[in-house]
Amino acid sequence: MHTSPVSSLLFTIAATTSAQELCVSSISDPIVATLDDSALFSSCAIPEIGVQTRVSSLFDVLQFSTKDFLIFCKASGCLSPVRALMDSIPSNCLIQYHGSAHNLSREISTLYEDCVKSNNAVDQAANDDMSRYFLDI
């Protein structure tokens, strides 16, 4: 299981301060709707990688195996909506999500950054493999 994003997310939730106000529903409702868009996040890797995932919320990807997490992060059809969501969430208010107030700006940013780090690690490993291949010739 891929646990790094889960640990980061749990820390983020615990670090949320109660001094922040809740976002108004006109801001939070579209964000929550996107987070819970199972059609978007279940099919985002199909065009590019040919893989469908089973998710009901974006946060379900935190429970993916390492392989499935990498597939999700590698697909631009998945990562682009995460980036757009990250850019649309205000950092100055909390969002009511599944019964509690969350700093979704920080939580989505952490998920996005974990995807970018994973992609960079995979790319570096591929480059290292290619370098070794050409050095062996």
Q: How far apart, in Å, are the Cα atoms of 87 and each of 8, 28, 82, 101?
A: 19, 13, 9, 19
Specify the pTM.
0.74
List, for residues 75-85, the tens digit of each pLDDT value: 999 999 999 99
Per residue in 75-129, pLDDT (tens digit) is: 999 999 999 999 999 999 999 999 999 999 999 999 999 999 998 987 676 565 5
With 50 as the cut, is the pLDDT of residue 16 above it? no
Give 42-53 pLDDT, tens digit per residue: 999 998 888 888
pLDDT in tens, 61-70: 999 999 999 9
Going by pLDDT thresholds of 50, 70 and 90, the confidence category of residue 11 is very low
The answer to whether 31 touches 104, Cβ cutoff 8 Å, is yes
